[in-house]
Structure 1
Amino acid sequence: MIKIERLLSILVALLNKEIVSADELAKKLEVSKRTIYRDIESLGLSGLPVITIHGRNGGVGLMPSYKMDKYLFSDEEKQKIIESLRMQHNMLQEDNQVLIEKLENLKGNDESFSNLSFYSPTIHRTEIEKETKVKLSALREAIAQKKKLEIKYTSLNGEITIRVISPSNIVLTDGSWYINAYCEKRKDRRMFKLTRIRELLLIDEELIPLEAKEIGETIIYKQAELIFQRNQLGKLYDFFLEEEIQIHNNTIKVTFKYDSNRKLIPFLLMFGSTVNVIKPHILKQEYYNELNKISKKINDDNQLSYIP
């Protein structure tokens, strides 16, 4: 352990306890007592009000007037902060380990903050997540520096374009990351899916700030009714509330409201032939049109495979 990290660890220990023995610090940091005494001297020379208590229960400490109140946050509040930091580390690759250890050391007892495991924020493969996190880092840098980005973007239908965008904020929704940005090509705000951004380059130009826009002001909700096969129940609980699900003998009826501006077809295709769209009619038509396209493609491929 290098000296600066050791000094920081000693300082945290002194903030957490009134008196800490040299033996305790030496064992915790795996160094000699002589090294601990030199470190304590260094802390004193730096201006910290270190005091030494002699005797059987002696040790070193900080003057009470200097100490941080460890109850500035409750243990529950500290736990929430630590869990958030761990999520941020997993999602955005932020190195928060030192900060997490500081908060754990300030807790009032030895109970560990380990009741939350957080592995993957998205539905993508591990390799795709690693690639996406690199893009996230570049996007966050652009936002922090208030700079534009040039991106090579592939749309849902496969169209490849070069865009200059002014990134505003990063959004995680439906298991995927998006960047909300002003697009100079479209002269309007757009949401770009990070997995479809194939290249990105920071441009040394001030970004164009997005105008304030009320969240949800353009949302138009529609009522949808779907019928699923009974064996889809487990999967349905991933997407729908208990009150939206009606279980029958062989089928399941789901009734819910959805944002009509968002494409529901890719979601429905996840269920293949196990779902029927009852309403609205326009969604039913769109879904069966897509199924017909897929069926026609399969038939065409099968016919080609039999050409001698």
Structure 2
Amino acid sequence: MKIDRLIAILMILMNTNKTTAVILAEKFEVSVRTIYRDLDTLLVAGIPVMTAQGLNGGIYIDEAFKLDKQYFSLKEITHLLVGLKGIESAMDDHGLKAALEKVKSLVPEEVSDEFNDAMGQVSIDLLSWIGHSEIKEKLKKIKYGLSKSVVIWFNYINRRNKPSSRSVEPYRLLLKESAWYLEGYCLEKSDFRMFKLSRMIELKVTDQTFVKREFIPQRNDVNGWVKNQMMLIDVEFDYSILERMVERCGEKNIEKIGVTTYKAKMPFTDNAHSYNSLLSFGKNIRCVGPEKIRAKLLEHIESIKKMYYD
């Protein structure tokens, strides 16, 4: 959008001594002529954009117009930028790019080296190794539906691999454990539901608008809807998967019982997804109890074996 680009250009000019139309055009993937039109727009708005000719020339903004950069500490600005860059890497949103430039403009020039060092110490990359371009495209369509209050349609494969077609009023995007989810009002179920983006197929934006309903976001931690389904199972596992088990169980729930053997209380839900997840560790883990889960796990294993013997 033009307004996002104008804000971003303004923030770049406030954050640098000089730049050029060519550099701005490459950054925003537009023509040099478009950049000059944008600069004219900023001038009409009363922003003192200036140009200088010659070897050290370029585009710049009057120093008297620049903001006081002491409102945030360097540490606070760094935290803001690390978070924004992580989200921007996943969503590829022009509004986020503009926000990044705004925050960068708050960095005093005299501490720019210190700031660059601090920024290099932490990096957040929310992109998956494979398929991130498809997720980005889905995010773009859903964000359009959110901003315009437009119904989206998609085919959905649930955890039991059952397909269905859904028309949904989008209300919120959620990033949870490196996966994106949509909370929305499902017109087929006449209720609010949560959908995982990776399970959506052939997502389309419709021309059907909607009036927003009262929306109360679900709690998505162990104190929310997950709590009713969650249990702890006893497992023993090999050192080779210790890192993954620390992520799942927490270090305080793990105890060493042998040279290379550990035991843990592992969060678990009684559904096919969790059994498949447990089996993904292969022979490096063994469920000790409760007996009910052990029995179901054996049934799951037998069903897999049967598939190969038939």
TM-score by length of 1: 0.71
Give the CA deviation at 1:105.
4.0
Greater helix proportion? 2
Partner residue of 1:242 out of 251, 261, 265: 251
Give the direction of change, closer, same or farther, for the CA distance of 1:207–1:224 in structure 2 (3 Å limit): farther
Secondary structure of 2:249's aligned partner: coil
Give the distance between the partners of 2:171 and 2:7, measured in 1 at CA. Answer: 36
Give the direction of change, closer, same or farther, for the CA distance of 1:284–1:166 in structure 2 (3 Å limit): farther
Bigger relative contact order, structure 1 or 2 (CA pairs below 8 A, ≥6 apart): 2
2:280 aligned partner: 270
Greater displacement, 210-219 / 158-167: 210-219
**Contact 1:166–1:207, Cα closer than 8 Å, also in 2:** no
Give the CA deviation at 1:202.
2.1
Q: Work out whether 1:297 is the aligned partner of 2:297.
A: no
Give the CA deviation at 1:180.
1.8
**Contact 2:248–2:267, Cα closer than 8 Å, also in 1:** no
Q: If you compute each CA radius of gyration, which structure gives the higher value, 1 or 2?
A: 1
1:100 aligned partner: 100
2:189 aligned partner: 186
Amino acid at match of 1:85: L
Partner residue of 1:117 out of 119, 123, 135: 123
Give the CA deviation at 1:139.
0.9
Give the CA deviation at 1:106.
2.9
Give the distance between the partners of 1:132 and 1:177, measured in 2 at CA. Answer: 8
Secondary structure of 2:133's aligned partner: helix
Secondary structure of 2:248's aligned partner: coil
Secondary structure of 1:70's aligned partner: coil
Give the direction of change, closer, same or farther, for the CA distance of 1:152–1:10 in structure 2 (3 Å limit): closer
Give the distance between the partners of 1:86 and 1:49, measured in 2 at CA. Answer: 29
**Contact 2:11–2:101, Cα closer than 8 Å, also in 1:** no
Give the CA deviation at 1:247.
1.5
Give the CA deviation at 1:98.
5.1
Spell out the pairing of 1:58-207 with structure 2 (5 A cutoff).
61-63=62-64, 67-95=66-94, 96-97=96-97, 99-108=99-108, 109-111=111-113, 112=116, 113-122=119-128, 125-126=129-130, 128-203=131-206, 204-206=208-210
1:36 aligned partner: none
Give the distance between the partners of 1:107 and 1:45, measured in 2 at CA. Answer: 27
Give the CA deviation at 1:10.
8.1
Give the distance between the partners of 2:181 and 2:152, measured in 1 at CA. Answer: 14
Give the direction of change, closer, same or farther, for the CA distance of 1:270–1:46 in structure 2 (3 Å limit): closer
Give the distance between the partners of 1:291 and 1:120, measured in 2 at CA. Answer: 33
Give the direction of change, closer, same or farther, for the CA distance of 1:276–1:48 in structure 2 (3 Å limit): closer
1:125-184, Cα deviation, whole Å (9 max, x unpaired): 42x111011001111111111222221122334332211112222222243222122222
**Residue ranges of structure 2 left out of the alignment (5+ in a row):** 1-5, 23-38, 51-60
**Contact 1:49–1:62, Cα closer than 8 Å, also in 2:** no
1:211-245, Cα deviation, whole Å (9 max, x unpaired): 43662454224222111134332432342321111
Matched residue pairs, number?
A: 266
Secondary structure of 1:140's aligned partner: helix
TM-score by length of 2: 0.71
**Residue ranges of structure 1 left out of the alignment (5+ in a row):** 17-23, 32-39, 52-59, 301-308
Q: Work out whether 1:286 is the aligned partner of 2:292.
A: no
Give the direction of change, closer, same or farther, for the CA distance of 1:213–1:132 in structure 2 (3 Å limit): closer
**Contact 2:8–2:97, Cα closer than 8 Å, also in 1:** no
Partner residue of 1:225 out of 222, 226, 234: 234
Give the CA deviation at 1:11.
4.8
Provide the aligned C-alpha RMSD in A: 3.6
Secondary structure of 1:133's aligned partner: helix
Give the distance between the partners of 1:6 and 1:84, measured in 2 at CA. Answer: 18
Secondary structure of 2:140's aligned partner: helix
